[in-house]
Structure 1
Amino acid sequence: MRFSEIVGQHAVKQRLINSVNENRVSHAQLFLGPEGSGSLALAVAYAQYLSCEDRQADDSCGVCASCRKYQKLMHPDLHFSYPFFAKHKDDTAITFIEQWREAIEANIYLSLDAWRGYLDAENKQANINIAECHQIIKKLSLKPFESEYKILILWLPEYLDKEGNALLKIIEEPQPNTLFLLVAQNQDQILNTILSRTQLVKIPPLEYNDIKAYLLNERGQPEATAAEMAYLSNGNMAEALSMLQHDASNYHSQFIQWLRMCYSNKGIEVVAFVEQLAKLGRENQKNFLRYGINFIRECCLLLAGAPNLVHLPASEFDTAQKMIKVMSIEATEAISSELETAHYHVERNANPKILFLDVSLQIITILHYKTIRQGRTQYIPK
């Protein structure tokens, strides 16, 4: 993985390159960014740059022996650790290395949900167990085999429980030229003892224009589709790529139709529409709700008198201007909250008919009866 292959994040790339060229490489770094921001891709590209035998001023060469091994994720001085779903207490990351390589080569913007799909996860909880911690210590106690650096990329250290304290000594006093690159999404869930021993590299969500340009130029998507997916993904490339694998839908017209039925309190039509939503499939349901959340957020900006901050195509902007005539800021916030809660439960396999019917009734309450409820509903799983 070369820096040039990574979408956007130009400032972060330059910072990482400068740290190498100025000989300011910290032995323990935390790449902290939201899902789909490219944190893992940046860590791999950084490791490849450090190990490149013909390092360029702004990127690895991509053709030396080291780079070719990195491209296949098979360099002897590159090690990975990540959450997995252990079947046996002595399972470690190496047990699942073939699935890991397959997942990363398919999509470097990997999400935990996508990673779960490569494993026989059943109902197990992902974690990084004590056996894996001992394996990390064992691997990193050795000198580099080929390159100047031995590098461990630890994806999602949030899944290190108290067992992670076993790594403190080797993180604080590693062998010479041994680097820890932790790739995380939630700083609050990382053990403080580990957090305090790392140098922070903050990675922001991807820019709308960067995702749109990638979908247009690299994935051959039509202008309108690329714009909609970039908008729906909200800076998350993992979500944008996930949308490519599912049926393209006109979420705007579907969502506006739903709101209008709820505003008019057309019960029979709402029930029929819920039946349609229930048949979309989980990913399309998530995309539909995600579009709704973003659209309502734009409506809220219009109501707040900030049209210059609204990011909608012209036709959708006109629709939003019409919709805000029957909504208040409080109503948009309440609807957004209902949609976010529904999205959360769709991810956890809620019964779609019950879920969407309940959300419909709540939107009817908000738009038709001008009443905002308190609290949350628990949905019945499949």
Structure 2
Amino acid sequence: MQFKEIIGQDAVKQHLLQTVAENRVSHAQLFLSPQGSGALPLAIAYAQYINCTEKITNDSCGTCASCRKYERLIHPDLHFSYPFFASKDVKIATDVLEEWRNMVLENSYFDLDIWRSKLNADNKQANINIAEAHDIIKKLSYKAFEAETKVLIMWLPEFLDREGNALLKIIEEPPANTLFILVAQSQEQILSTILSRTQIVKIPKLDDNTVKRYLMDKANLSENQAEEYSFLADGNLIEANALLNDEANNNAGYFSEWLRMGYGNRVPDMMAFTETAASWGRENQKNFLKYGINFLRECGLLLSGADALVKLPPQHFEVAKKLSAHVLNMAMIEALINEFEKAHYHIERNANPKILFLDVSLQLVKIIKFKTLPKGTQYIYT
């Protein structure tokens, strides 16, 4: 991966290039950034540049033997560590390395939900366990096969529990020509013992103009539409891609019609919708529910009189206004969000989509049409 492939972040790129030019590459660095800002692709491009044998002024060459292997993430001296879901067949990160490579090569802007969808997560929690820490130590104790510098990129070190302290010695006193790059989102969740041994590189969120240009180039959006979506994404390229996915799948249309079905107690239509939703596939089902949760939160802002804070494109904004004025109230919104969050949780764990969406549809009828709210929810008349 070359620097030129990464969206925006010109100042960070220049800083990284300068550290190499001035021979000031710290052996342990923490790339700290908001979600969707490009920290992981920056880390890969930085490692590729360091080991490129034909560097140019502002990027790796992309053609030398080292670069060609980095482009496919198969360089023997490039190692990855990341949260995974341990099982009988998955003990360490390399057991799902092929899935990791395929995901990064497909789109290097992703989050833990997207990574989870590529794996058999069941009901397990993601973590970076002690077996993974020991495997890192073993891999980095070997001499480099080809490159001048061995590189370990760890995505989301926040998932290192106390077992991560096993890495302290190798991070503080690594073998010669070894580089650690930790790619994190939350400084507070990283072990303080590891944090104190790294040099922090802060990567800001992308500005709206950069996201706008990306959307216009990638999806051929009009300037006005790209501007609306970049505002909604708020510097997060993962969210920008999700908005494109929502538009492609017509999540806004499906969701508003689903609410109308609940309000009208249109059970036959809901049965038909259940069949449609079950055919979407798990990732699209999750995106649909996430859209619904975000949409209802925006409706909550409208009901609170905070119209200026609502982040919805104009056509979605008008639908939200009508639903907020004539159908929804705060108690309903709270109850619906709770149902959708539970549904999202169960979809991640391979629930039967027909049964799940039928159950949620019936809950919609109870909440919207018959105003039957879960225990503990205070009904607010509007």
Assess same fold via TM > 0.5: yes
Q: Distance in 2 between matches of 1:308 and 1:318?
A: 14
Partner of 2:357: 356
- SS in structure 1 of the partner of residue 181 of structure 2: strand
Q: 1:105 to 1:370 in 2, by over 3 A?
A: same
* Deviation, structure 1 residue 60: 3.0
The answer as to 2:342 corresponding to 1:341 is: yes
Structure 1 residue ranges without an equivalent (≥5): 377-382
- 1:341 corresponds to which letter in structure 2? K
- With 263-272 and 115-124 compared, the bigger mean Cα shift is at 115-124
Deviation at 1:181, TM superposition (A): 0.9
2-structure distance, mates of 1:224, 1:354: 40
Displacement of 1:161 after TM fit? 4.2
Letter in 1 for 2:351: A
Contact 2:2 2:62 in 1 (8 A): yes
Conserved in 2, the CA contact under 8 Å of 1:232 and 1:290? no
Superposition deviation, residue 261 in structure 1? 2.5
Deviation at 1:5?
Answer: 0.6
Aligned residues of 1:232 and 1:287 also touching (Cα < 8 A):
no
CA offsets per residue over residues 130-166 of structure 1, 9 Å max, x none?
A: 4443332233335656555332112333444443222
Question: How much does 1:303 deviate?
Answer: 3.6
Q: Is the 8 A contact 1:90 1:131 kept in 2?
A: no
Deviation at 1:119, TM superposition (A): 6.4
Q: What is the match of residue 294 of structure 2?
A: 294
**1:323 matched to which residue of 2?**
323
Query: What's the counterpart of residue 45 of structure 2?
Result: 45
Distance (whole Å) between structure 1 residues aligned to residue 258 and residue 96 of structure 2 = 44
Alpha-carbon distance between aligned partners in 2 of 1:324 and 1:330, rounded to the nearest angstrom: 12
Question: Structure 1 residue 190: deviation in Å?
Answer: 4.2
TM-score (normalised: structure 2): 0.76
> Structure 1 residues 134, 315: CA separation in 2 closer, same or farther (over 3 Å shift)?
closer
- The one-letter amino acid of 1:345's match is H
Matched, 1:282 2:282: yes
Indicate the SS of the match to 1:182. strand
Q: Give the corresponding residue for 1:380.
A: none
Hey, what's the Cα distance between the residues in 2 that align with 1:222 and 1:235?
19
Q: 1:206-245, aligned counterparts within 5 Å?
A: 210=210, 213-214=213-214, 216-218=216-218, 237=237
Q: Give the match for residue 5 of structure 2.
A: 5
* 1:1-382 mapped onto 2 (5 Å cutoff): 1-21=1-21, 24-33=24-33, 36-83=36-83, 92-94=92-94, 97-111=97-111, 127-142=127-142, 147-185=147-185, 190-203=190-203, 210=210, 213-214=213-214, 216-218=216-218, 237=237, 248-326=248-326, 327-329=328-330, 331-368=332-369, 372-374=373-375
**Counterparts of 2:11 and 2:375, CA distance in 1:** 43
| Structure 1 counterpart SS, 2:80 | strand
Verify the 8 A CA contact 1:232 1:294 in the aligned structure 2: no
Question: Using the alignment, how far apart are the partners of 1:224 and 1:359 within structure 2?
Answer: 35
Following TM superposition, by how much is the alpha carbon of 1:54 offset from its aligned partner in structure 2, in angstroms?
A: 4.8
Q: Provide the residue aligned with 1:379 in structure 2.
A: none
Normalising to structure 1: TM-score of the pair? 0.76
For 2:168, give the aligned amino acid. Answer: L
Gaps of 5+ in 2: 378-382
Aligned counterparts of 2:120 and 2:315: Cα–Cα separation in 1:
45
Give the Å deviation of 1:250: 1.9
Q: CA deviation at 1:71?
A: 1.8
Q: 2:121·2:349 contact (CA, 8 Å) conserved in 1?
A: no
Distance in 2 (alpha carbons) for counterparts of 1:75 and 1:257: 50
Moved more, 237-246 or 348-357: 237-246
In 2, Cα distance between equivalents of 1:353 and 1:140: 48
Share of identical aligned residues, percent? Answer: 59
Matched AA of 2:346: H
Q: Is the 8 A contact 1:36 1:235 kept in 2?
A: yes
- CA 56–294 in structure 1, closer or farther in 2 if over 3 Å, else same: farther
Q: CA deviation at 1:245?
A: 9.0
- Asked if the contact 1:243–1:287 (Cα under 8 Å) also holds between the matched residues in 2, the reply is no
Look up the equivalent residue of 1:109 and give its one-letter code: Y
Q: Distance in 2 between matches of 1:295 and 1:22?
A: 49
Structure 1 residue matching 2:283: 3-state secondary structure: helix
SS at the partner of 1:171?
Answer: helix
